[in-house]
Structure 1
Amino acid sequence: MAQLGGAGQPIIILPEGTSRFQGKDAQRLNILAGKILAETIRTTLGPKGMDKMLVDSLGDIVVTNDGVTILREMDIAHPAAKMLVEVAKTQEDEVGDGTTTAVIIAGELLKKAEELLDINVHPTIIAMGYRQAALKAQEILEDISIEANDKETLLNVAMTAMTGKGSEKAKEPLADLIVSAVMQVEEDGEVNKKNINIQRIQGASVDESHIVNGIVVDKSRADNSMPKNIENAKIALLKYPIEVKDLETDAKIKLTDPNQMQAFIENEEQMIKDMVQKVIDSGANVIFCQKGIDDLAVHYLSRAGILAVKRAKKSDMERLEKATGAQLVTNIEDLSAAELGEAGKVYEKKIFDDVLIFVEECKDPKAISIILRGSTRHVAEEVERALDDAIGVVASTMEDKQVVIGGGAPEIEISRKLREYADTISGREQLAVNAFAEALEVVPKTLAENAGLDSIDAIVDLRAAHEDSPYMGLDVFQGEVMDMRESGVVEPQRVKKQAIQSAAEAAEMILRIDDMIAAKGGLEATGDDMGDMGGMPGGMPGGMPPMM
């Protein structure tokens, strides 16, 4: 990239092949990328949202309507689109649900900003207006939130999160499993989702899913000669291998006599025997080892009637600590009865094609497992994603004890109050606040469209109903505006708060970009190609966005 100097000589600033877009061109391309991404996942929103089939380069298939899964599986190249993907990932990490909502709000904010840019409203003014509107929206959200600390509300939150996903037909029993699991692992008002292990097994209907009062480990016994079932289990958790350690440095041992070789082998065997004896002396009858266990050690453990599992995952070891009360031992010399955990029974069981170790009847476990069934792998995977979302929202509700009504009710109410707020603002920021208010209506509008309803009629009816009550939402099954409190459609306040905040911040950041400079190949999906929506790679029809 060159620029002429004073003497007519070119001054090389950037290497040849560098792409650069400035001013309105840069803004137009970034906004277009955001709009395309939002449109891609928009049809998945709500109880009647559709699914997407994603096929990777190896031919693996994912069928889902989970927003963050779709965005994670898509091979997105455009930098502005990647920023919106980060919005979805943050939403997933913070709350566990509402990813689609966050992205489509961000996309609509960019769309409304484009309209303001066309009438020469400065991007900084739009960004400032959006910031003011987002802060006001959080205040309004606080006002329309409802306090929730009873089990019935938690069940409704879980069922709302699962509606429209593969788990919908069994949402009531699954919601009961999730609420029971979250309440069990809750400690001091906080819930760590990692303490709930979902063990997915295909080959049965979703209805056969159940909760385990303990932990399920996706491993088998170290040897079939070991006992298959242990009652009144005393459990040792070892991070130390029960085998002779390799030397950290290269070393050679020169043996001149066969007796020396025999003594060397016997010494190794004695070391392993001593380690096994240490386990036996502690009183343990079940061992979970994060490292390896020597074949000779397996033999001695089996003779002592001890059930051993080797190379257990770190996450399983942490959950076993929480469930059994055992302490993870990093040196076998420190193993004693004080470090052991307890469980009513530990046994190995084969379910479909999976051999699992069950650690059950734990006393007040703070980590538990859910056995999730599904007729096929794809069904089980989608139900697992639904459960993961539901666990996130139930945990958020338990921590915050605040919910909002669903069905598009909060977005319509915030939109209505923001219009009133806009009238109090002088200057062009008023236009941006009004645009923010209009953008939020994309949520109920999309819910209506995905249910096959007239979106204009739905919005008009909702606006009229909100003159009387802030809890009126769209019942997509009845096709009518109803009081969503009575229908039990509720969501955690944190889902909406995070979605609006993240969407506003992402839109604001994208709007403030007026210059895009990229190395060769870095912006291949920009320029005029962004407007060409025809054709997938390989000649497949369907119009996938060229930014992917």
Structure 2
Amino acid sequence: MYMVMETCYKDSMYMSNNKQKWSEQEDRHSTLLSNAQAVRAVTAAVEGTLGPKGLDTMLVSRNGDVIVTNDGVTILDLMEITHPAAKMLINIARAQQDEIGDGTTTATLLAGALVQEACAHVQTGVPVTRVIEGIQQGISRALEEIQARSRPLEQVDDPRLLQVARIAGREHGDIASLVVKAAQLMGLEKLRDPSFRLSEMIVSSVGATSEVFHGLLLNKQRMSPHMPEKVEKTWVFLLDDALEAEGIDEEALRTETGFQTYLQYKEEFRQSVRRLIDLGVRFICTGRGVSPVAEEMLTEAGVFVVQRVSSRDMRRLADYTGARPVKRTGLHKSPDELKKMLGWCAHVYQDKRMDMIRLEGGHGKPMATILVGATTAEVVGERARIAKDAASSVQAAVRGGIVPGGGALELYISRVIEKYREKVRGMAAYGVDAVAKALRRPITQIVLNAGFNPLEKIEDANAGQIHTNCDSLAIDCESGEVVDMMKRGVLDPTLVKYHALKAAGEVAVAVLRIQTIVRMRSDGMEDQGGF
């Protein structure tokens, strides 16, 4: 009896000690688990949109406004998020959008998978620092493999470019064709210019006919309805300032000298405006407002004036027309000096149907505009987002080459990482293993969204890749058969894949490194030091 009681006591103590250890472990990992759940919630919001069979997400505001889209960055950007770890994931997705313009869903999916796999290892007792070390090694090796397997695109008339646009454009062939045509008009050198964004050439309008044309569209109106609706073969003047006389201090204006100076400034300003008219300038854009005096003179002279033009549009106008934007002090230059600042445009007119200003026949750099139209504002918005994704992917493909899509490349590289794991010593190998498993997540989700069993289909694709040593085999979302993505034209830009994985690794490591969440003071007081 005593032995039984002693045994029960020991068992009770053993269970109590284990329970205490388990409780301590839970406390230690509570922040990580909370962050992982938040990241998972964000991932769940976009994972259903991936692939050709991905569905849409409906976003509803508190006012009842509705947006229906399967654009990852739009969903993430408009989601109501409070958890700090979730916000980190969304910020990484935005960074992916800013850097490349596409691939936000893939980046989010990979980041979520990395965190999920890492948490599973941490809960079994693997130190977080070792998992992080392994993830960094695995990501670095995977990025090297992506670059090594990139296929270059040397010409804008390469037929594969249309396939890139079609895949990024969610099978919208008409939009893909418009984007590729615009890319061909811009040329290889312009597309490879780091400061140029083809996606910024996209303009959308309800009721417009979708087209690509040489020229610009400004989402502005002429300053006055009394000004001409159209001017042709005109000099162009760009004023990155207000078109008004120089001001004078109110106190100085009360003095005789100040008042005379004021009258002098007004007269000089009138002469400056008259100089522009006499030079044959019939199209003027200003960065700020226009004074009533200038408006009256320019209206009488039949000049087309657009005020408060953004800096971005001012740069585009300068590139397209060849004009050099000047500040207000430049108005005092001589006619010969002013003429050197002018640009030229063959046609400028107010498009009443779209309520925009259209320019064609500029004498500056070639410029293409992709006009996307539809019957309703909701559809126009979604088509514009699709076009921007396609344009970003086309430019990324020209800059960095292409790789097979459909999750094929990630599946192939996952096996490369599995082999690499054998060379990694210590517990860091568990982090490498997390990378290998996360790389299978894109193809898993694509197959799942297509309505197939991912366990069965991924093994089929994996076996096919091993048998043929081909990195482009994946699953056809229509038939469920293993097919060659390169031959089917399912192509992704290398830079999209590269930056998506890099961004996913960065956010996963950042989330895993958080041990404690502390609420900051909200009183606005700066830390004065001490206790």
Residue 112 of structure 1 deviates from its aligned partner by: 0.9
2: CA distance, partners of 1:220 / 1:329 = 22
Of 92-101 and 236-245, the range deviating more from structure 2? 236-245
Aligned to 2:126: 121
Change (3 A) 1:282 1:64: same
Aligned to 1:409: 408
Aligned to 1:381: 381
Aligned pairs for 1:30-69 within 5 A: 30-69=35-74
Aligned pairs for 1:211-222 within 5 A: 211-222=212-223
1: CA distance, partners of 2:79 / 2:350 = 39
Aligned to 1:306: 303
For the 8 Å contact 2:188–2:398, the answer to whether it is kept is no
State the percentage of identical aligned residues. 31
Count of matched residue pairs: 488
Aligned pairs for 1:126-525 within 5 A: 126-150=131-155, 151=157, 152-163=159-170, 168=172, 170-180=174-184, 182-183=186-187, 186=190, 189-190=193-194, 192-193=196-197, 196-204=200-208, 208-247=209-248, 253=254, 270-330=267-327, 331-334=330-333, 336-351=338-353, 354-363=354-363, 365-400=365-400, 402-467=401-466, 468=468, 469-519=470-520
For the 8 Å contact 1:235–1:341, the answer to whether it is kept is yes
Aligned to 1:545: none
Residue 396 of structure 1 deviates from its aligned partner by: 1.7
For the 8 Å contact 2:161–2:180, the answer to whether it is kept is no
For the 8 Å contact 1:185–1:192, the answer to whether it is kept is no
1: CA distance, partners of 2:261 / 2:226 = 28
Paired amino acid for 1:389:
D
1: CA distance, partners of 2:150 / 2:189 = 26
What per-residue deviation string (whole Å, max 9, x for no partner) do you get for residues 141-183 of structure 1? 122221222322222211111116xxx2534433334423553
TM-score by length of 1: 0.83
Paired amino acid for 1:130:
I
2: CA distance, partners of 1:199 / 1:425 = 51
Change (3 A) 1:98 1:56: same
Alignment RMSD (CA, Å): 2.6
Residue 310 of structure 1 deviates from its aligned partner by: 1.9
For the 8 Å contact 1:22–1:516, the answer to whether it is kept is no
Of 380-389 and 245-254, the range deviating more from structure 2? 245-254
Residue 247 of structure 1 deviates from its aligned partner by: 3.6
Of 132-141 and 308-317, the range deviating more from structure 2? 308-317
What per-residue deviation string (whole Å, max 9, x for no partner) do you get for residues 237-289 of structure 1? 1123332344455566389xxxxx9x999877644431321212433221112
2: CA distance, partners of 1:521 / 1:29 = 23
1: CA distance, partners of 2:226 / 2:90 = 50
For the 8 Å contact 1:234–1:284, the answer to whether it is kept is yes
Q: Any idea what SS the aligned residue of 1:513 has?
A: coil
Change (3 A) 1:319 1:104: same
Residue 64 of structure 1 deviates from its aligned partner by: 1.5
* Between structures 1 and 2, the one with greater helix share: 2
2: CA distance, partners of 1:290 / 1:184 = 31
For the 8 Å contact 2:474–2:482, the answer to whether it is kept is yes
TM-score by length of 2: 0.85
Paired amino acid for 2:74:
T
| Unaligned 5+ runs, structure 2 | 1-25, 524-531
Q: Any idea what SS the aligned residue of 1:329 has?
A: coil
Residue 26 of structure 1 deviates from its aligned partner by: 1.1
Aligned to 2:9: none
Aligned to 1:11: none
What per-residue deviation string (whole Å, max 9, x for no partner) do you get for residues 371-400 of structure 1? 221111111111111111222222222222
1: CA distance, partners of 2:220 / 2:84 = 42
Paired amino acid for 2:379:
V
Aligned to 2:7: none
Residue 336 of structure 1 deviates from its aligned partner by: 1.2
